[in-house]
A and B are shown apart, each in its own frame.
Chain A
Amino acid sequence: MKYILLMSGTKTGVDTYHSWSQKDIDTHMAVLTSVAKELTESGEFVATQGLSEPAEAKVVRGEKNGMPVTDGIFPESKEFLLGYWIVDVATPERAYAVAAKISAAPGPGGVPTNMAIEVRRFAAHGQSKSE
C-alpha cells in the first residue's frame, strides 16, 4: 500500500526555521536523511521531496480562454506543504510509525519538534479497495 506523508507548515513556521542554529539544522537534516536511508534498506522507500519556500508559490487558474491567471499572495496563516515522503508499506500502522519518526526529528536544542505529519493513502486506480 502506498502512502504519502505530508509535512506542512505556515509561513511563520518557515521564518522561525531560518532562525535555527546551523548545528540544529544539521542535526535535523541528519535524522531525516537516516529515515530515508532506513526506508531504502527496508525496500519501503518510493520518493521524497522538499518544496521551495511559500514566497515562490503561485496559485494558477484557467481563464475562459484557457490562459493561466496567477496569484502569488497568500494569507500568513495558510498552511504550505514543505515536503513529502512516499512509502510503500504493508500496513497503515507502519505508515504511522514512519510518520512518527519524522515527527520526532529534532528542532532547536535537539528537542523533538513533534510536528504533525498528514498521512494519506494513494487512491487505488482500477484496484479493489481492500488491496
Chain B
Amino acid sequence: MKYILMMNTMRAGHGVPRWPQKDLQAHIAFMMNLNQGLRESGELVSAEGLSFPEQAKLVRAGKDGVPITDGVFPESKEFLAGFWIIDVDSPERAYAIAAKASAAPGPGGAPLNMPIEVRPVMNAPPPEML
C-alpha cells in the first residue's frame, strides 16, 4: 500500500526558520537518517523538499488557455514543505513512520512533534476511465 506523508508546516510570509546552525544540522541529519532507514527497508518510494512559499505561484487557465499567475497568499495559508511517498504493509506502519518524522528535532534538539498528514495514494485510473 502506498501512502504519502505530507509536512504542511510552512506559513506564507515566513522565510527560512532562524534556528542556530547546530540545530538545523541536527534536524537535517535526522531526516537523512530517517530516509536511509526507509531506503534500507525497501519502503521509500520518494522524498522531496519544496522551495519556500515566496516562490510559489497559483496558476489558472485564462479564457484562451493562457496561464494567469498569482503569487500573493494569505499569511495563514498552510504550505507543503515536503513529502515522502512510502510503500508499506499496513496503515499502522505508515502512521509509525509519520510519527518518526513528526518527532524530528527542532531548536535545542526538542522534538517538533509537527503534524504529518497521511493519505493513501490511489492507483492509476481504471482503464475504462481512459
Interface of A with B (CB < 8 Å)? Answer: 4-6, 25-26, 29-30, 33, 47, 49-52, 56-63, 66-71, 79, 81, 86, 92, 96-97, 99-101, 103-104, 112, 114-125
In the complex the two chains form, what is the Cα distance from A70 to B56 in whole Å?
A: 29
Least CB distance from B62 to A in Å reads 8
Complex A-B, nearest 9 residue pairs according to Cβ-Cβ distance, in ascending order: A62-B103, A68-B99, A100-B67, A104-B61, A60-B98, A99-B59, A62-B102, A123-B49, A103-B61
Q: B86 contacts the other chain (Cβ, under 8 Å)? A: no
Answer whether A118 and B118 are a contact pair too, CB < 8 Å, given A100-B67, A101-B65, A104-B61: no
On whether the beta carbons of A56 and B120 are closer than 8 Å, the reply is yes
In the complex the two chains form, what is the Cα distance from A33 to B49 in whole Å?
A: 26
A116 touches which of B5, B51, B60, B113 (Cβ 8 Å): B60
Least CB distance from A116 to B in Å reads 5
Given contacts A4-B50, A51-B119, A101-B61, 11 further A-B contacts (CB under 8 A): A6-B80, A51-B121, A58-B91, A58-B117, A81-B80, A86-B48, A99-B59, A100-B65, A100-B66, A118-B59, A119-B58
